[in-house]
Each structure stands twice: as structure tokens, then as C-alpha cells.
Amino acid sequence: MGKLARVDSSWTLFLDRDGVINERVFGGYILNYEDFLFKKGVLETSKELFGKFARVIVVTNQQCVSKGLISIDALSLLHQKMVQDFQDAGARIDHVYAAIEGKDKAPFMRKPNSKMAELAQKEFPEIDFNKSIMVGDTDGDLNFGKNLGMKTVLIRSEEIISVGPDLELDQLGDLIEFI
């Protein structure tokens, strides 16, 4: 397979969290950092991969907050620890956006809605969605990227997918050879 895109330092990498960065708990939620397990190779390849992009943005649906399973402060702390682990590995995450409402509840931040990407572009005006890649493991992630004109990458999992991505991979670090 050829290149997904000719990425340069003007591109943005959008990443889903559960199933892409960390092991996803099917039928459950990550509620504390002790249960946050990075997927194989993610930290080890993050410096090289993330370094190819102007921005690295995490966009994650976390309805566990609206369900009262975790507070917004506890979720923010979990994300701060994740970002610090990436920094310790020599990689950077520019921002983490979390949609905390339940499915089909206002303010409709959840993927596939584009609100988290719009917030990222407002904070980082240089973001061009046509020069962005969205990496996820669900139809919602792929539709989020496709609806905005991004290249889409599926990280394979148990999830049943009906949306065709531009590229399918077993792990995030494999993206390096396609950009």
C-alpha cells in the first residue's frame, strides 16, 4: 500500500483515546489512571510519529462523566497524567478535548459531531482539516474525520465497523510508514 498522505509540519493529527492510545474497556469505562493501559508501542513510537505534525489533538467521547461515574476534575487529572507520560516519552499532545454528555444529549460535542474539531481550530487557527488525519477505532471516529475532509485511519479492534477508512492498521505506531 502506498502513502496515506504526504505529511509535513503543517498537518494535524487527531486521535481518539480509548482503543487508539490506550486499551479500550468494552462495555465499561476507564475511571482511574491505574486502569489506563497504553496500547502496545504507542509511547515508544509517539516521539517520531507526533513529531511529524504541527499539532496533535486528542478528541474523546467520555459520557462516563454525565453518568456520574467520574468527575470532570478526575477526568482532567487522568488526561494530565496521560499527557505527562507522552512528554516523558519525548512526545507532545497539544490539547485533549472530551465530550462528556451522554449519547444524543446537548451540547452535542460527541463524535461524529464536529464540535471538538471546531474548538481545536478556534484555539489553533492554523489547523486545516484537509491537512489532518483522524485515527480512531469506531464508526463515530471515522465519520468525524470524513465529515471534516480529513484522512481517516482505523485501528482494528473488536468493534464492528461499517464506515470505510482510508487506511486500516493494527496499532498507531504503524502509521509512521504511511506518511
**Terminal Cα-to-Cα distance of the chain (whole angstroms):** 11
What domains are defined for the chain? 12-174 (3.40.50.1000)
Residue 1 confidence (pLDDT): 56
pLDDT digits (tens, 9 = 90+) for 148-160: 999 999 999 988 9
Q: Where in the sequence numbering do the catalytic residues fall?
A: 16, 18
pLDDT above 70 coverage of the chain, percent: 99
102-129 mean pLDDT:
93
pLDDT digits (tens, 9 = 90+) for 59-91: 999 998 889 999 999 999 999 999 999 999 999
pLDDT tops 80 at residue 107: no
- Do residues 171 and 39 touch, judged by C-beta distance below 8 A? yes
- Do residues 117 and 14 touch, judged by C-beta distance below 8 A? yes
